[in-house]
Structures are given as C-alpha cells and as structure tokens.
Amino acid sequence: MGEFRFFSAGESHGPGLTAHVEGLPAGLEVSETYIRQDLARRQKGYGRGRRQQIETDYAKITSGVRHGLTIGGPVSMFIENRDFSTGKGPDGVLWTDEMSIEPSDVPYEKITKLRPGHADTPGIVKYSQDDARNILERSSARESAARVAAGALARTFLKQFDIEIFSHVSALGDVESHADINEIDWSAVESSQLRCADSEAETKMIQEIDSAKEEGDSLGGVFEIIAYNLPIGLGSHTQWDKKLSSRLAGSVMSINAVKGVEFGAGFKQARMRGSAVHDVIRPIQEWSNDGKTKFNKPWPRRSNNSGGLEGGMTTGEPLIVRAMVKPIATIMNALETVDLRTGEKVEKAHYERSDITFVPTCAVIGESMVMMVIADAILEKFGGDHINETTTNLANYLESAGPRG
C-alpha cells in the first residue's frame, strides 16, 4: 500500500493494540461508534472461544481527527486488551507480570512445547528465543482487531463513493453453502451465527463444529467477499506491483491461517474452455441496472467470471474475492511435538485458549484488508488532500469513461 498505509503494533496479552493509518484526506467524518460496529462483527461467530466474550473491543482514536473530521495527518487508534489488567496466563501468572514491559521478578513458565502449525518453531530460531511466548504474542490473530479498526476507516472513506463491501462464509469444514453471492440478503448474513447465507448449510456447519469440539479438533473453511460500485480502472497492468489482483491477493493472504485466494470463478476456470470463461463485453444499451451498481457502467459484461479484474485492473463489475483458511492449529487434543529445552519428543504441544473455528471472523478481517487495498487504489488514481477533491476527481474521470468515437 502506497497511499493508504496501515501498520499495527501490539501483543495478544499486552496492554493493547495500536493501529496507525496514513493517507486519509482531510474532511472525512469518522467516529469511534462506527468503528466499533466492525469490531463487534469481528468478535461474533459460533465456535469462537471465551476471549470473544471477555473482549468488547473499542478503538480509541488518538490522533488525526478533530471535531469528528480527519485533518489529513496520520490517524492512530488504541484498542485495549481488557484481559491484560486482571487476567492470568495458562501458568496462573497475571498478564501484567507475564507481559511486563519492565523487567519482572515474578516467576513464570516459558513455552517450550512447540505448537505445530504456528509461528513458534521458525520464530524461536529466527529471533533466537528460548520462550515461544515471544513469538506467539505477536503472531496471534488478536492483531486482526487493529486491521478491522483500520478497515472501518477505509469503509468510511469508500462510502463517499458509494462503494460497499460484504462477506459471507461459503464453506466450513466440508459443509458448503449453496448461496449465490449475487442474491444474498446481507442483513440476514449479519444476524446469522456463522455469517452464512444458506440456513440449511448453517445448521450442518453448527453440527460440524459441535462434533469437532467433542473430538477436541478444529475446522477451517472458505469465505467470500464482494465489493459493489468500484470504478473501472483501479490498479494497473503496467508493473507487477501495481496490479490490483496481486495487491488484493497479498493482503488477503496476510491474514493468519489464509492459505489460498481466488477471484471470480477462481480455480474452477482451469477446467473450463476459454469461450465459457471470458466475460463478453456488451454495448451499453444492452445493460440494465441491477440496482446494486450506482453509476452507469460504460462497458458492461454478460458474466463476471473474472471477479471484476482484468489485467490487474477493475472492470467495473463487482469484485469477488474468495479465500481458504486452514483449520485452527491449536487443537484441544494437542499434537505430538518436541520440547525446545531438550529437543526430545513430547506427547502434547502447549495448549493456549483456542477457538474451534473462526471462518466468520476471517471474513470480516478479509473485508478490512480488501477495503484498505481499494482505498489505496482510489487514492492512487484520484488523489486529493481533501475528500471533496477526491470525489470531484472520481466524478470527472467517470465522465470520460464511455465510448470515444
């Protein structure tokens, strides 16, 4: 990200997380209450652990906003880890001691039974540590709360252009949702326990979670994101790192546990003929507004197998991104491993409080990453130090986007 920039800091059981966002133009109305809605969406989901009930995340804005409007400088936010002040680690030591920033005399247990599927093993070697907590604390997906807070700022920005982003869970374990992404009732998804648009599939998913829980196991799945109203031509074909497709794939892949990303018809295209894959371009007269896209599309398509991306640029059709998340690595019935102190085999890896599954949450984090990349691409193309400048530039561009005689 070059124009809209996001960084996070903070540990899972430290005092809290910091989100730092740069690039938002001045004059944008932002509110902590609005950000909180996305943070709450991140915490929902059947199969998530006790911590989600403890934490009711709130991002306190600490810079870049005055009287409810951005002033053009970096916006930083602090999200407290509510567990920090009173909670204890699995060794019974208070987090305030275990995670003390100053040196502490309070004895605590080091984590040495390395957890397969986590950053523990490469992390302790690379950073020369003798306690896997020094790796685990930062590699934990608690960090994703900072992403979601920053994503809510991106959402606020994108709303100025009527760009809307939604997500749903399309598979959990081996249960698939049969919902068609173009037909989904998004308010129903918001009230569903698993962000699933197919209620029959959702019932089966819940059974699958209960069964995995009983067996001390975990589940992964697939989530899908759709963005409406993107102007044609975001991103660029001219350089590998300017392609919106690679920027989107990289940012979604950066979410913990995501192991694959595809667009539109995705991997299925490999088994199809070209004539069935590529999205025929229609003359504007043939196009009728489906009600989901606000501005007239100059180059409408008969299908959207590309997922709204050609040559690393948006086509003006809805952007469709799908991602696969592996099953959670910390399983109650912990896997065999080695002890870092001895190098010898131990029957069970360290167990730290864990979810059974987290796919609905991953979908919300995925929305945040996609929104930040789109915000970045909008700023790259349309610039603007004040939001009115950005909206005017975009409107002028769209005027020139049609047939050119």
**Least distance in angstroms from the C-beta of 372 to ligand FMN:** 16
Nearer to ligand FMN, 44 or 386 (CB): 44
SS3 22: strand
CB 145 within 8 A of CB 39: yes
Nearer to ligand FMN, 301 or 350 (CB): 350
Q: How far apart are CA 109 and CA 351, in angstroms?
A: 13
**Least distance in angstroms from the C-beta of 87 to ligand FMN:** 16
- CA atoms 326, 327, 328, 330: torsion sign: negative
**Least distance in angstroms from the C-beta of 361 to ligand FMN:** 4
Cα–chain-centroid distance for residue 169? 13
Count CB neighbours of 101 within 10 A. Answer: 8
Nearer to ligand FMN, 201 or 362 (CB): 362
Nearer to ligand FMN, 229 or 330 (CB): 330
Task: Kindly state the tokens that stand for 390.
Answer: 């950005």
Q: Can you give the binding site for ligand FMN, defined by CB under 6 A?
A: 49, 117-119, 139-141, 144, 255-257, 326, 328-330, 354-355, 358, 361-362, 365
**Least distance in angstroms from the C-beta of 329 to ligand FMN:** 4
Q: What is the DSSP letter of 347?
A: S
Nearer to ligand FMN, 49 or 298 (CB): 49
**Least distance in angstroms from the C-beta of 160 to ligand FMN:** 28
SS3 115: coil
**Least distance in angstroms from the C-beta of 192 to ligand FMN:** 17
Q: How far apart are CA 405 and CA 387, in angstroms?
A: 33
Provide the β-strand partners of residue 75: 21
CB 248 within 8 A of CB 262: no
Q: How far apart are CA 95 and CA 266, in angstroms?
A: 44
Nearer to ligand FMN, 45 or 307 (CB): 45
